Structure 1
Amino acid sequence: MNDEVDLDALAAEFAEGLPAVKGVFLSSLKPNVDYPGHTRDNPTSSAGLLFALRGRARFEFDGAPCDLEPGRVAHGAANMTLKPRVQGDSDFEYVLVHYELAGRDRARIPGRRPYADSRYLLEPGELPGLADRLQLLHRTWNASGGLASLRAKELFYGILGDVLEAARRRGRREGDDPIGQIVEYIHRSYMEPHTLGSLAERCGGMDVKRFSYLFRKRTGFFPIDYVIRQRMLQARRLLAASSYGVARIAESVGYADAHYFSRLFRKYEGCSPTEYRRRFGNCPPWFR
């Protein structure tokens, strides 16, 4: 259906983009029925995730086929054509979640088409209790009141996180992923004094140039730039949600020199740490 999905980049896009649920639909399709779907004159209205609950079906997103069954989740973007057809003799039951990214510009990676504008397939496998949680999400979303909307968002975030984590675990079982393991290592140890050579060495002693090429192909960034961006992400969160001084925050994300940290922060974020705190101080970290 598409090129390999970078699950870390996809998770980061959702985390930074603050997805807002716009609709949750529980539906089923009958076999041997020619459904009109969405055409160029009537394309899909929103980005959406389609969770297969029962049966098998083929969905064509802009003409690209995607075979769905329990354990598979398809993503389609807004303004696509969509043609479904049930496979086999049983009904196909599914849940469709429409969403949009409130922080779309923040989530964008230069040079890469956003996943929200793409079609892709996730294969987490059949997760215990997922069908029940999706049906609960459908009931909660269709209830009235702000509390129900908040609960629906909480449920969606939990489902999304579990699906991505399961897809990552399954991917590891099906083949080694040394670059993905280095990405996870950076997420855990961004404050350490990493070098390009030390990261390449940790990646099975890979040649530095090849490691740098594969890392950029996977993430959109060169390795050290990715480390710096992880440090800046954590610094933003601390500036927004804590009362720590700039020097302490600098040290906590890997910079002993607070002045160097401040210059780097301005380069990446467009303002000084102090100015960032003035703008966003006391905001919960997930808003930044």
Structure 2
Amino acid sequence: MEMQEVIHLYTMAPLTFIDVITEKISSETVLTKYKTMSHVGGLMFPINGEFEVRIDGTVYVLEKGYIIHAGPNLPIERIVTNNAKQEYAVIHFKLPDEVRAMYPLYNGHFTFKIGDNMKLMSMLQQLIQNYFMRSNLSFLQSKALFLNILEEIVLSVKLLDYQDKKEKMSSIIEYMQENYANNMTVPDIANHFNIERRKFTYVFEKRMGVSPTTYLTDLRIQKSKLLLRSSDLSLSEISEKVGYTDYFYFSRVFKKVTGLSPTEFRMHMK
């Protein structure tokens, strides 16, 4: 699941606030299997402690820094594994039937990270207090708070997604700089990071301004230029040290990038 899909759901879908509930549970609580409400989705927030939730056969951990989304009419079971008391809240909301096909993620179940967001948890507590005041005005305020909570969720998801991608790109660049001498290709790098090749190329170019092929080629040529200037290694040896097993191919690439053959470059540097 892509975080952009989550962002699209919570920003574009016409979600309507229904209610909010809280519950405290422990190992002594009688836990029964049940289904989420028909036509109503929910967001589960941990308040105290953590426990497992099985939704339609998939087990999630409801813990600090994470939220669980569960769509309508899904089998659900809470699993308490210790004696500590846990508390959680669920915000229920509805998506009109006529547009549900446009937002398939709404009907599913998934968990996502929001980080240690004190502002979001404060907004949740305010929503709970407002809703249980049981007045027309407090319900109106609850609906507004629900939208504010969705906005804060989206901001948190965007920030964490950006940080994760930035960290992953740093790891990719570091990996390329450490392994350029190996006869690796762009698909090899994508496979190493478990990213589909086309997506890898798209994200890399968007972040770095050049394609991964161009970056890897430039890196190898820069390293070869350094060796041509500072060593007496043969051209074939230099070719192998920068990741090219075919010297003639290396020579063609070198000339295409620099305008000179490796031999001409070395003579020019002396």
TM-score, with structure 1 as normaliser? 0.54
- Rounded Cα–Cα distance in structure 2 between residues aligned with 1:25 and 1:71: 19
SS at match of 1:52: strand
Secondary structure of the residue aligned to 1:87 is coil
Unaligned runs of 5+ in 2: 170-201, 213-270
What is aligned with 2:93? 99
Q: 1:188-215 CA distances to partner (integer Å, 9 max, x unpaired)?
A: xxxxxxxxxx9995453348xxxxxxxx
Query: Residue 79 of structure 1: SS of its match in structure 2?
Result: coil
Equivalence map 1:45-194=2 (5 Å): 45=38, 46-102=40-96, 105=99, 108=102, 114-176=104-166
Aligned equivalents of 1:65 and 1:32: distance in 2?
A: 21
CA RMSD of superposed structures (Å)? 3.0
Identical-pair percentage? 19
> Shift of the alpha carbon at 1:101?
1.6
Query: Higher mean Cα deviation, 11-20 or 68-77?
Result: 11-20
Contact 1:50–1:95 (8 Å) recurs in 2: yes
Q: Is the 8 A contact 1:73 1:123 kept in 2?
A: yes
Q: What are the superposed Cα offsets for residues 7-47 of structure 1, whole Å, 9 maximum, x if unpaired?
A: 33323323332211111001111125450031xxx554321
CA contact (8 A) 1:16 1:107 kept: no
The one-letter code sitting in structure 2 at the alignment partner of 1:98 is: H
Cα distance in 2 for residues equivalent to 1:152 and 1:74: 20
Aligned residues: 179
Q: Judge conservation of contact 1:17–1:104 (CA < 8 Å) in 2.
A: no
Question: For 1:35-92, what per-residue CA distance to the aligned partner results, in whole angstroms no more than 9, with x for missing partners?
Answer: 0031xxx554321000011111000000100011121100111111000012333111
**1:96 positional shift:** 0.3
Distance 1:169 1:88, change over 3 A: farther
The runs of 5 or more residues in structure 1 that have no matched partner are: 179-197, 208-288
* Cα distance between partner residues in 1 of 2:27 and 2:48: 13
Which consecutive segments of 4 or more residues in structure 1 shift more than 4 A? 198-201
- Could you tell me whether the CA contact under 8 Å between 1:54 and 1:92 is conserved in 2? yes
CA distance in 2, matches of 1:172, 1:136: 28
Please name the residue that 2:25 is paired with.
29
User: Contact between 2:10 and 2:150, CA under 8 Å: does it hold in 1?
Assistant: no
Check if 1:13 corresponds to 2:9: yes
Whose Rg is larger?
2
Partners of 2:11 and 2:154 within 8 A in 1: no
The residue type paired with residue 115 of structure 2 is G
